[in-house]
Amino acid sequence: MLHVENLRIVFNTRDGASVAVENLSFKLNAGEVLGIVGESGSGKSVACYSLLGLLPMPPGKIESGSAMFSGQDLLRMSEAELRKIRGHKISMIFQDPMTSLNPYMRISDQLVESVLQHHKISKKAARQRAIDALNEVGIRDAETRIDQYPHQFSGGMRQRVMIAMALIAEPELLIADEPTTALDVSVQAQILKLIKQLQVNRKLAVIFITHDLGVAAQMADHILVMEKGKLVEQGKTEDIFNRPTQPYTQKLLRAVLTTAKPTPSLADKAKPPFLEVKQLKTWFPQFGGLFIKHLINTQKAVDDISLTIYRGEILGVVGESGSGKSTLGRTIMRLVEAHSGEVLLEGKDLLRLSESDLKNSRRHFQMIFQDPYASLNPRMTVFDTLAEPLLVHGLATKKTVLELVNQLMDDVGLDRRFIRKYPHEFSGGQRQRIAIARAIALKPKLIIADEPVSALDVTIRAQILKLLLELTQKHQLTMLFISHDMSVVRYLCDRVLVMQNGRVIEEGETEALFSAPKESYTQQLLAAIPKL
């Protein structure tokens, strides 16, 4: 069905030409699933975007190659010819549905538009086909929900809408670009099962782009491994995973987390708990009415939670999206105000501190956010980002700050030469290292890490987790680690709390909980982990 040969893509940058894809060749037959794996920046997405004319040109340029699809070369087509192919013959599921769905348009308009573009049917028939498509991807009450906007859906539901949009015009080839990266394990398992079912039922050919090797092993018939724009290895899935021949493939497989925490716990349980949370409630009132506001509902994001963390301990908090994990972390940090309860850090209730006392106390508890690109100031260099908290809290002077910033760069494994660069000049893994350096700059007693590795590929994730373990050992840090990735939590944490609908439903030592979970919900989370 698809034969790509000698594809070479170059981007012109201020530092000269950068080769994104170098002489890539592969074939895909009807009804097959091809998995393309590799680290961020390996050229996976760029190669597939080029097939549909989705590359920005300039700065991108397809220098050579061909992509024969049903007897036509996709790379030689005009924009008008590609428009007839896109969505109709070849469809795409993008990585982030929130940015690829139009926030100003109802779901109905976005789905119907695609049908009317490629099929000569009435609007009424197109709407019915859109409702059927939403039903097919498992959205309940599709007749009502079709008239809602993207922000009214959860992450998993938005991804289902994207799948419905990709399949509504009945394509022959589906390109799925990291469709489950930001989803929790149970929703990811549902989406993968759904794509597999639709692929089998419709006899679709699928190109599945991912950096999660467990997902690739579960979905693909054949695997193509890419590194720095080049094809490293390709073959049947079982051959690639069981008998890899290339060192790079072996390195990717070694980075997959399947083990318990490699270092002993540093938790000091002889002393009183370092952090105590008592009956914490964070409720969000929801109001209705255009002129006179009235309370219509109360969302109980954190509902009567109590927990303890001992000095030197890493406590993991897991659960699906919407379970209240991040709200719990933000409430402890006083980034969200609590409805009621106590947060005692070394006996001092953080919820009762005045604004000035809170500012002075903030040096003792810091947060690593999920998206470093959003949490780092794009107008500040790395030096300014790391120097600011040191100067604000009086831990450095203008004479000593440079040496302290250089020490932080050493701690997180970044070259000192990078301190005059801006966040956009770094890769995702490097930006996360900068965010970690900012969090440890003040030598805090407590760090709350909110999904700090969820968007990173396997090798970078392994590096960041190893770094966090080293830093907790070196600086005797106490950490609350929030994640939906159960394998990450097993590798890093001493104890685990499982949250569902704002409540803690199970807790225990990590290995004990993983080997013998008591609650059915915990069992479902563990069963949903993709396995090689």
Please report the domains of the chain, with CATH numbers, ordered by start residue.
Answer: 275-288+299-527 (3.40.50.300)
- Judged against a pLDDT cut of 90, whether residue 56 lies above it is answered with no
- Structure tokens belonging to residue 348: 């001092």
More confident residue, 390 or 323: 390
Beta carbons of 434 and 375 less than 8 angstroms apart: no
Average pLDDT value for residue range 2-13: 89
Name 155's Cβ contacts closer than 8 Å, sequence gap at least 6. 97, 98, 182, 183, 187, 321
Handedness of CA 244, 249, 250, 255 (dihedral sign): negative
Cα dihedral across residues 275, 281, 286, 292: positive or negative:
negative
DSSP 310-373: -TT-EEEEE--TTSSHHHHHHHHTTSS--SEEEEEETTEEGGG--HHHHHHHGGGEEEE-S-HH
What mean pLDDT do residues 44-59 have? 87
Confidence of residue 155 (pLDDT cuts 50, 70, 90): low
Look at residue 474 in the predicted model and tell me its pLDDT: 83
Most confident of the ranges 26-35, 420-429, 519-528 = 26-35
For the whole model, what pTM was predicted? 0.76
Establish whether the linkage from the previous residue to 58 is cis, with ω within 30° of 0: yes
Tell me the C-alpha distance between 198 and 409, whole Å.
48
Q: pLDDT tens-digit profile of 488-522?
A: 899 899 999 999 888 999 999 999 999 999 998 88
pLDDT the model gives residue 440:
86
Q: How many other β-carbons are positioned within 10 Å of the β-carbon of residue 287?
A: 10
Question: With bands split at pLDDT 50, 70 and 90, how would you rate the model's confidence at 361?
Answer: confident
More confident position, 244 or 15: 244
Average pLDDT score over residue span 407-416: 86
* pLDDT higher at 178 or 446: 446
| 290 has a pLDDT exceeding 70 | no
The confidence band for 214, taking pLDDT boundaries of 50, 70 and 90, is confident
Q: Confidence class of residue 277 from pLDDT cuts 50, 70 and 90?
A: very high
Predicted pLDDT at 33? 93
- Alpha-carbon span 95 to 99, nearest angstrom: 9
State residue 182's pLDDT score: 62
> In the prediction, which pLDDT does 212 show?
80
Q: Are 74 and 85 in contact (CB under 8 A)?
A: yes
Would you state the pLDDT for residue 162?
86
Place of tokens 């980075």: 255
Question: Percent of the chain, pLDDT > 90?
Answer: 30
Q: 157 or 348, which is more confident?
A: 348
β-strand partners of 481: 316, 449
Question: Which tens digits make up the pLDDT trace of 226-242?
Answer: 998 899 999 999 999 88
Give the least confident one: 81-95, 353-367, 416-430, 432-446: 416-430
Choose from 21-30, 129-138, 249-258, 461-470 the range with maximum mean pLDDT.
21-30
Provide the mean pLDDT of the chain: 86
pLDDT reported for residue 415: 86
Burial class (CB in 10 A: 0-12, 13-18, 19+), 7: buried
